[in-house]
Amino acid sequence: MIDLEIKKQPRLGLKRVIQLTVNGIKYRFFRSLVTMVVITVAIAFLMNSGVESLIKREVNQYSSEQIANERLAIFWLAKLKNAGTVDSHIEELSQLDKQSDKFKEFMAFAQVKDTIEIHQEIIKAANYLNFFNSMNYGNRRRLVQQATQSRIFDYLQPPEKQESFFATLSEIRSVSLPKEEEGIDPEESFKGFLGSWPSLKASIQKAILAKEQAILNLSQQHKDAELLELLLNNQGFLQDIRNAGFMISDADYQTVVEQSTDIANCRILEKSISGLKMKQRLASQFDQHPKDITTRFLWDEVFQSNDDVEWYITVAEEEQVLSKGQYTAETVVELAESKERFASLSESLKESRIKNSKNSFLGLGERMGWLLLVSLVVCGVGIANAMLMTVTERFREIATLKCLGALDSFIMTIFVLEAALLGTIGGIFGVILGLIIGVGRMNVALGNVVWTAMQPKELIIASLIAVVAGIVLAVLAAIYPALKASRLAPMEAMRIE
């Protein structure tokens, strides 16, 4: 018999450890499956709320961009009629790049040279306006009485008003001025802004006056003709607009003309049913009361299928409300489709609107951010419970392994490894499940725009985060009971059962 000196026990190779762990999972397959399902469901929940928030945000952004594009003609029609106000200028200009055409146009109208300075001033003004607008009514009333929008800045011009304003502001704890720059007192920078406000306002008003003059000149030049007509039929109108001082690119003008055509076409088509005879014929064809024949009925019911449209065109030509060959069925159906697309875009924009999205976690809105946090906690508790159970019910096995000479670190490793394995598999399944449910739900709620607005990159990052969250939560939940089990003397562990 060899006498053994007592030494430190060597560590087991990783391959053996993994083999042992996988064997253990295989044997307790059903139990492991249940743990995995718990992780899956928890991660699916987490992933689902994350995906829905992301998609909502993306759809919101996408549809507002699309709508702005679709409404380019309406934007220009409004612009060529109305010069706007100081507030509308601040809001619009603050969102523009200072190199953009629109900003240059403003600079030209206002006859200001220093682009950088005025751009900064406008952004500051927009920030302060946002600050006052997001305040509740009571606080605003205390601070600036009944002044609203940019009139607040006018109201605060006299020094004594400023003094009382800052005094009141220091009393209201929940409200503090936005920070403009690091290291500069917000109060000082607001005072500085108020000092420069009159000149900014003067510049904007100058631009508005110049614009009004330009619009007046333009309409006199064309003898008060309707804008829509001019856009459609006057070849030289683009040059006239540019001469008046407005900046519009050729591509934009092209789009404006196209959309104006659509608008004009819609008007003609809608006008075509204003006569009693047309209404009666439509009513008898579609079995409706003549009073129910409205423009809405026309778009939603009649202009949906080619056959109906063809019938309508022949009837309208008979009744001489449409001139012969003016429209083919295809163009009308196309018009109806683009109208519908626009409606669905506005619908998804409305649905995807998130409250307070400007200043909350990931731009997800306060409610979604909170939901995400709660789901993370629920997820963590669920996984912790599952892992705690798996470890405690294996105390006897742990004790046996320790009797056979297993190191504490080995016990820790097999449990952490098992948790990581279950966390990975559960996390991946959970992500897939959450993704399917989230995208599906959003598809139902917001329409097909989801597929075009979705950004795969963001979703992939979110998926990775969710999988990692699954692994980390599972491992964290396994560490405590495993540590406890591995530290116990073998017999104490057996006694616990």
Q: Which two tokens stand for residue 407?
A: 């190191």
Cβ proximity to other proteins: between 216 and 489 the closer is 489
Question: Which positions from 378 through 397 interact with other proteins, judged by CB under 8 A?
Answer: 396-397
Q: Is residue 398 involved in binding other proteins (CB under 8 A)?
A: no
Mask: binding to other proteins, 280-309, rule CB under 8 A, as x and -?
A: ------------------------------
Of the pair 129, 399, the CB lying nearest other proteins is at 399
Contact region with other proteins (CB under 8 A), list: 72-80, 133-141, 275-283, 488-496? 488-496
Nearer to other proteins, 12 or 433 (CB): 12
Note whether 187 binds other proteins by CB under 8 A. no
Q: How far is CA 37 from the centre of its chain?
A: 32
Residue recorded with tokens 């950088």: 116
Nearer to other proteins, 16 or 151 (CB): 16
Nearer to other proteins, 406 or 467 (CB): 406
State which of residues 6, 251, 276, 377 lies at the interface with other proteins (CB under 8 A). 6
- CB 24, min distance to other proteins, A: 6
Which x/- pattern over 14-33 shows residues binding other proteins (rule: CB under 8 A)?
Answer: --x------xx-xxx-----
What DSSP letter does each residue of 286-350 carry, written as one string? Answer: HT--GGG--HHHHHHTGGGSHHHHHHHHHHHHHTTSS-TTS--HHHHHHHHHHHHHHHHHHHHHH
Closest C-alpha among 357, 353, 358 to residue 178: 358
Question: Which segment (2-10, 219-227, 268-276, 329-337) binds other proteins by CB under 8 A?
Answer: 2-10
Out of 14, 209, 403, 464, the residue judged to bind other proteins by CB under 8 A: 403
What's the closest the beta carbon of residue 63 comes to other proteins, in angstroms? 55
CB of 393 to other proteins, least distance (A): 12
Compute CA distances 232 → 80, 237, 258, 265, 377, whole Å: 15, 9, 8, 11, 60
Among 410, 413, 438, 453, binds other proteins (CB under 8 A): 410
Measured distance CA(493)–CA(487) in Å, rounded: 9
* Nearest Cα to Cα of residue 190 among 142, 245, 121: 121
Q: Is 135:175 a contact under the CB 8 Å cutoff?
A: yes
How would you classify residue 491: left for phi > 0, otherwise alpha for psi between -120 and 50, otherwise beta? alpha
Residue 366, interface with other proteins (CB under 8 A)? no
**Burial class, 26, CB count within 10 angstroms (exposed 0-12 / middle 13-18 / buried 19+):** exposed
Q: Which of 256, 298, 354, 401 binds other proteins (CB under 8 A)?
A: 401
CB of 26 to other proteins, least distance (A): 7
Asked if 177 contacts 190 with a C-beta cutoff of 8 angstroms, the reply is: yes
Amino acid at 463: S
Of 249, 233, 286, 25, the closest CA to residue 241 belongs to 249
Nearest distance in Å: CB 492, other proteins: 7
Residue ranges in contact with other proteins by CB under 8 A: 1-4, 6-10, 12, 16, 23-24, 26-28, 396-397, 399-408, 410, 489-492
